Chain A
Amino acid sequence: MKAVRLSLRCVPFSSRAFWYEVREASGLPENADSDQVKYLFSYLTSREVQARTLIVEEPYVDRHYLEEYTGYYASALRPPRSKATRIHVLSCVLDDAELGLWIEETKSDFATVQSRFQSAYLGFVVIRPLPSAPIGRSILRPYKGLSSRCFAAASTEYRVHLAGFELAVRGMPFQQQDQAVGACATTAIWSALARVMRADGGRAATPLAVTAAATKYLVRGRALPANAGLDLDQIQGAVREFGYSPYLLKSAGDRGHAGFTIALKCYLRSGIPVILRIRHEDENDAHAITVVGFRESDEEEEADDIVLRLHDGAYELRSTGLSRLYVHDDRLGPYARAVWLPRHSNELPTLQLKPRSPDLEKKFSSKATVWGAIVPLYPKLRLSAEDLIAYAGDFLPLMVWAVGQHRREALKVEPRFMHGGQYLHDLHTLDIASSRVRLFVTAALLSRYVGIIRFCLGTEWFADVICDTTDIRRDVPHAAPVLGIIPREEGLVEAFKEQMAALTGSRDVTPEAPVIV
């Protein structure tokens, strides 16, 4: 067979150049538009990304597109090419000559050139040779620069090989829906699974594999082409087929919204993406998007605290409010901004996308009702976010007592799930005496994933209650499955011991007793 040479070209980043390269690689006609391309250009020009150079790598063998090709396009009379084009994005100015010099420089100092390349690397966009759906698997760095943003669910590290360099980019894969092989829900599931499967050491599923999984037991219309859409059972079936446990979280109007939002935030902070089923006001069918991050209230974008009012207002379980969600919407693009809209009592919550580009903002401004969420959970993570929030209730009166009246309004609850080993690792950087760290890490037996009920005073950490996640909530014994408690103030340790004794009805120091340091 004839050998094919690789082409690597540096192109100065501009609207014209970006559109030209996408059109060349995909066959998108001059007179055809693409919202995703428009969005990507807008994202790459944003203040916090600031792309300067594109490196066009052609041909590129993309496993995800290749499976779409072999599973569907190969049997078409007029198939597209089997190979794609990959466009790398850099934040520095670089031309062909300079890239050549960088490569030659490696002989004397590889580490310096690698580091220079890495610091400018923003990610890549795969362009499929499909004029109707050009944007293939794309991994771009999310916005950064603000501590109020959380992109834990988009923090998977991808290793990219380019001209002998190994570059890393942290993000979550995005791609445009290609109706031939997947519905919008397929793309949302694919993005979410890519995160959780890689985080657990596996290989990400391809869109075709997700479609096959979703239609394995229940098919509406034809499996391929996949334009029949997916229902709730199919979405859950697809998640289950890859070894994950689909957890359904229903949205609710009125008082339920606070609980839903805290649970959503809990999963996102835990690095677990959430698939939202939404319905735009002007559409009959639903749409699926993947929530990958959020922005908490800060000086620039304020948001009210999320408040669960309990006991007719006698207690408040508060969490810092969210000014934005960041979503992968296959109709628009990655890390698209969305905001909650004000609601009337008992209405389901509504979201609105807020793309930066004015014409996209106009096109995507319709309200979307949130019907519910599907969370792909590690199977042994049996305790849910709602359970964790409910267990926070157990400790709320004690915390209110401990922080005192003058700081009560600042008491926040930020629940999350963490890898047990990671929690112990992070403990070394918490603001407590090293002797207490030693006591905890040498005595606490943690589950693979632990549930952390983190109480904060404003943004300052106040106390952690560490829970076992490998069992469901039980009514008997009624006490929370606490493995350990760590208050910031050492003076609270005895109070916590007393509280645990009151909750469990036992003062025994047994191997099963929580480690309170």
Chain B
Amino acid sequence: MDPIRLGLAALLSGLLALERKAFLQAMLSRPLVTGALLGAILGHPLEGVAIGAALELFYLGAVNMGASLPDNELFTTVAAVSCACALAGRVADLTFPATLACAALATLPTAKLGKVTDRLSERLNGWIASLVEGEGDERRIRTGLRHNLYGLWMPFLVAAAACVAGAFAGKLVLPLLLTLGPAGLPRGLAMAWGAFLLVAAAAAARTARTGRAFVWSTLAAAATAGMHAAGLWGER
């Protein structure tokens, strides 16, 4: 993988991490958008947008309400996309869906790690806030208020590191593990991608918390799959 592209992707990951909670929250850091942007930078837009869409569905219910912290979906997206882009084309017989499954399954638990770093970041922010509170002096307060922006550093660095770590896993670790696996592994992984999409969509449908979510979503699933089987939607 081109180091310049990886550096740009890491920089973008850091900036998107700021947008996730600290600034604006215009959904630029959601998995679908992040996946598409990182995939384009890393030269694999199809991998980026496919993983992004799947993770968007999987984490559609991840909501930061009050003091509760959800799993960090950005952390996983960044790691999964950089991993998939680094892995693409490196292992013989590993098809497109198999690559996606491999990257997504390998990086999914990192969302929990991201949550831990979010908690640490909040503790650091608590210390920053304590520097300002109780200051009677106007000049010190004014300087202290600028410390509000120091809270941006940790999410930036953590997300950039996740991008690099994902690329490392996709380039070195996963190819080695895949070559040690049985011959039918790529076909199994391709089926696993379909299964992951199913679970992600079901998790998204559960998020909406509507009275008849089960009926509406199952009917929609049957209709879409049926339309495709009848040749009315897309091509295989």
A and B held together in a complex: no
